[in-house]
Chains A and B, each alone.
Chain A
Amino acid sequence: MAVTRMFGASVKRREDARMMTGRAHYTDDVRRNHTVHMSVVRSPYAHANITNIDSSEAAQMPGVVGVFTGADLVDDVAPVPCAWLLPDCNLKVPEYRAIAVDKARFVGDPVAVVIAEDRYQAEDAADAVKVSYEPLDVVTNQEAAVKDGAPQLYDDVPNNLAFQWKLSGGNFEEANQSADIRISQRFVNQRLIPNAMETRGVLADYNPGSGSLEVWLTSQNPHIHRLLLSAVTGIPEMNIRVDSTDVGGGFGSKIPLYGGEMIACGIAKKLGKPVKWMESRRENYVTTAHGRDHIDYVDLAATSDGKITGIRVEAYANHGAYLSTAAPGVPTWLFGTMLSGPYKIPNIECTMNGVLTNTTTTDAYRGAGRPEATYLLERMMDLLAKETGLDPVEVRRRNFIQPDEFPYTVATTLQYDSGNYDAALDQALEMVGYEELRKKQEDLRSQGRYLGIGFSTYVEVCGLAPSSAAGMMGFQGGLWESATVRVHPSGKATVLTGASPHGQGEETTFAQLVSHETGIPFHDIEIVHGDTDRIPFGWGTYGSRSTAVGGSAIVYASRNIVEKAKRFAAHMLESSPEDIDFNDGVFSVKGSPERSKTIQDVALAAHLAWDLPEGEKPGLEDSYFFDPTNFTFPFGTHICVVEVDAETGTTEVQKYVAVDDLGNVINPMIVDGQVHGGIAQGLAQALYEYAAYDEGGQLLTGSMMDYCVPKFEHIPHMDVGRTVTTTPVNPMGLKGAGETGTIASTPAVVNAIIDALSPLGIKHMDMPFTPQRVWEAIQERKGS
């Protein structure tokens, strides 16, 4: 392998050049002649029978091309597919129509669409569609929805229970019987709204002459979307092109296939015209999948010296009105399997009830299941510290899996690849100045001030995933990744990747990797992603998998290129491959470095093919499909220091320290950026964000005025550090960086606030810690 400065260098991002000059092409920026615009008529009721739709007036309005109801399109567009079919848990997947037929099940459920020549006309006409409803009883809370007598969303889903999923290792009951300490706590992990800055949208252009469909789509996984669009529209996969090169953030919300996009494609085919639809932000709030929304009942068993012997979780996940594409997998496999955290917990039991309610669907949101597991576990660690009188640091250390115990199989059957949890914790303690902080806390407490220090020592599973594991879990896809490295006659290279970055910077990181492996200069390497017409196949970007899995495919393809080039170089130098050294893009004869050929020389010779080595074929290109043998398990320690103002209930984050171990790091600048953004989202769950419904199922936080997407002043400065423990799972020894910040930060912030408030006897409160909520809690305690 060539060693260049590329691996580990903070190279500036090449995608920035187009993005910061206004030259990127997000979906709404793509222009096609004769495009018509779609607007969606949505149910204002959370649960209602649709008794009549009168579109006669709308159809006559200026510019209107057509009005379509669900019934009109039943034969053109199949129901929205669910692609995570959990085995062995009595899963019921209710019919999910892209446009509701007969019955609407949440506020925002589409009931008709209008197509017009411009978007203003389409919206005017949508307002003129008259729909009659017969409102039904509504249920929005998952615990209420499973009770007998609750309003039923579907005739064939009794008690609104879509599934009951169980996982267990060891015997929790026994552990609990013999425990010195038993702690029980209920946690609400509130519903969040992803709020990618670019809303969802689509431009679908069907050519009746060729029978082909071109789709520009806000997607994290364009090949999956192509496959699903083919299934629902009947257009063969090879005749569909999906392009998602520039996407304005996703955070999980652009994994699912949604009805709006399907309908636009179906109508484009029907009309033979390009159809564009971009969600408004308000539509985004009610129709793009939300995240989290768990209610978790947790029991923990431990010895008197603070060793955990078992944990049991009985939980309810709110899936909203339908099962979104990946929804069933999120609160189950991505949650239950991570209940051991970085700790040795021999007995684990999890029961997850997946519940349907009259709310927006939920699906993956940054971290997806793992933040929920980490949150409850890290809160339980602090409760255990309180109960035993141990320092929260000590109680964690006593339960850590030790460095020499890896690979370590936890009770939930995952095998952790590698780790050194104490090392990350030590570094974080040093960065934050822990001992002094505790002294300062004591001082301030004596003055009646509330300083708190919160920990989160987390481990997460990423690098999704071995395809055999995907199959076992019921995910209807593989999770390998593909790469093609194509060296042109000029020695410049085009790399096709199945990963589909939308902010993560892989156009840069992957070029660094290829340059590192082949010695081809960084600027001579183009990374192509997001275009299904150019890339063989790919499963996309989510689950912190792009570099761990997609990058691995690139490394192996690059190595195959170098191997072939070495054989060519040997032939050209009249030597044998064993006698050739390769360094920084140059092949030379061992012992006589002046006899050399560059990889560019070889690329030209391989394409000219005037003098091929025996048995060799022309060209210099390789495709590689990488299926990992295991997940990866990044870990670390986050520490948050807050002061709570008892007069106002306001929380001020005074210090935030993150030490993450992500294995090797290709581009530290980009990885720091991923960590910052992740922390901001997790911290915002602790302090600000909350999707609130009223009893009638109206989303009360349905705009950026009402839902607190954090602004500059809401996010503190973050100090980021790293330890490095490599993984054997991939050739780069790296673990993945996209979700750690979000997974780790929420409990660190909450633990800090509870620590601050502990002199008042407060042991737990649910998120978000808004000033009002905190103030009320303080008043209540002070009053009593």
Chain B
Amino acid sequence: MKHEITVTVNGTKHTSEVDSRMLLVHYIRDVLNLTGTHVGCDTSQCGACTILFNGKAVKCCTMLAAQADGAEIMTIEGLAKNGDLHPIQEGFWEEHGLQCGFCTPGMIMASYDLLQRIPNPDEQQIRHNLEGNLCRCTGYQNIVKSVQFASKKMSGAPGDD
């Protein structure tokens, strides 16, 4: 069965006809060609596909495209504004929070959600809240630092610049 959906992705409205069974991650990657959202597993474990769905982090490999009708989505491509990196991206860059980069888009979107809920998380809170995202390269330590960097920068703490 086909469904007509209207989705706003990174501020742009798209209307498409999708199969009932099409996963949202495939809609984003293969229909909209936004390939920054990755697929790393088939059991909702890795978090490589994390996007913001109506403002909240979701693993979009576990949703159907049809469920996204009317939704507001942000993917990694929508995070930097006018060529300016988002503070979370800056944090990952400054603190070497990525190596192969495959987990990174999902990691950044999950961090975005975390910092919305807990603007100044301590190390434990970061580790706990990001546990749905796997990284095989970094050993996580620098991702923790990246999120801390972003947290400071976003709360406008003195001495950032």
Contacts and interface: CB of A to CB of B under 8 A. Distances in A.
B101 A19 contact: yes
B102 A198 contact: yes
Contacts of A15: 101
B77 A680 contact: no
A248 B135 CA distance: 10
A128 interface: no
Contacts of B16: none
Interface string B87-98: 001001110101
A524 B128 CA distance: 41
Given A25-B35, A673-B99, A20 B105 contact: yes
A674 B138 CA distance: 7
A660 interface: no
B89 to A, nearest CB: 5
Contacts of A199: 40
Interface stretch (B43-51, B52-60, B151-159): B43-51
A714 to B, nearest CB: 9
A504 B96 CA distance: 11
B16 to A, nearest CB: 15
B63 interface: no
A199 B105 CA distance: 16
Contacts of B29: 28-29
Interface in A639-682: 669-670, 672-674, 676-681
Given A22-B75, A197-B48, A713-B131, A673 B138 contact: yes
A718 B99 CA distance: 17
B140 A680 contact: yes
Given A197-B48, A673-B99, A677-B99, A717 B141 contact: yes
Nearest to A504: B99
A752 B73 CA distance: 47
Given A28-B39, A120-B21, A281-B43, A20 B89 contact: yes
B46 A198 contact: no
A647 B142 CA distance: 33
A715 B140 contact: yes
A704 B134 contact: yes
A120 B45 CA distance: 21
B145 to A, nearest CB: 10
Contacts of A669: 96
Contacts of A247: 100
Contact of B140 (A22, A278, A704, A712): A712
B4 to A, nearest CB: 19
B35 A21 contact: no
A21 B89 contact: yes
Nearest to B105: A22
Looking at B137, B140, B144, which has the most chain A CB atoms within 10 Å of its CB? B137
A587 interface: no
Nearest to B126: A712
Contacts of B96: 12-13, 669-670, 672-673
A234 to B, nearest CB: 32
The interface centre, meaning the residue of A20, A23, A676, A705 with most chain B CB atoms within 10 A of its CB, is A20
Contacts of A81: none
Interface string A663-703: 00000011011101111110000000000000000000001
B98 A16 contact: yes
B98 A718 contact: no
A606 B29 CA distance: 47
A340 to B, nearest CB: 29
Contact of A711 (B43, B79, B99, B131): B131
A407 to B, nearest CB: 33
A773 B116 CA distance: 40
B140 A502 contact: no
A22 B76 contact: yes
A203 to B, nearest CB: 12
A68 interface: no
B37 interface: yes
A196 interface: yes
Contacts of B39: 28, 278
Contacts of A196: 100, 102, 136
Interface string A442-455: 00000000000000
Contacts of B35: 22, 25-26, 28-29
Given A20-B108, A704-B46, A712-B127, A680 B34 contact: no
Interface in A27-84: 28-29, 31
Contacts of B19: 120
A280 interface: yes
A709 interface: yes
B37 A22 contact: yes
B131 A679 contact: no
Interface string B50-84: 00000000000000000000000001110110000
Contacts of B104: 19-20
A478 interface: no
Nearest to B37: A22
A20 B128 contact: no
A24 interface: yes
A195 B136 contact: yes
Interface in B1-51: 19, 21-22, 29, 33-43, 45-46, 48
Interface in A492-532: 502-505
Contacts of A681: 136, 139
A282 interface: yes
A712 B21 contact: no
Nearest to A676: B139
Which of A670, A673, A705 is the most central at the interface, judged by chain B CB atoms within 10 Å of its CB? A673
A712 B33 CA distance: 30
Contacts of B127: 712-713
A21 B92 contact: no
B98 A679 contact: no
Contacts of B144: 712
A703 B43 CA distance: 7
A251 interface: yes
Given A246-B101, A282-B42, A676 B138 contact: yes
B112 to A, nearest CB: 12
Contact of B99 (A281, A503, A703, A717): A503
Contacts of A12: 93-94, 96
B47 to A, nearest CB: 10
Given A21-B89, A503-B101, A705 B43 contact: yes
B102 A248 contact: yes
Given A20-B92, A25-B35, A198 B100 contact: yes
Contacts of B34: 22
Given A712-B140, A717-B141, A16 B92 contact: yes
Contacts of B40: 197-199, 248, 281
A704 B98 CA distance: 21
A602 B76 CA distance: 43
Contacts of A198: 38, 40, 100, 102
Interface string A3-16: 00000000011011
Given A282-B42, A709-B134, A718-B139, A248 B76 contact: no
B142 A503 contact: no
A249 B104 CA distance: 12
A247 B80 CA distance: 23
Nearest to B134: A709
Contacts of A713: 127-128, 131
A505 B41 contact: no
A712 B123 CA distance: 10
Contacts of A677: 99, 136-139
A28 to B, nearest CB: 7
26 contacts: A13-B96, A15-B101, A16-B92, A20-B93, A20-B108, A23-B36, A28-B29, A29-B35, A195-B136, A196-B102, A197-B48, A198-B40, A248-B100, A249-B99, A249-B137, A281-B40, A281-B42, A673-B99, A676-B140, A681-B139, A703-B41, A704-B41, A704-B46, A712-B127, A712-B143, A713-B131
Given A676-B141, A709-B45, 5 more contacts: A21-B76, A197-B102, A198-B100, A703-B43, A717-B141
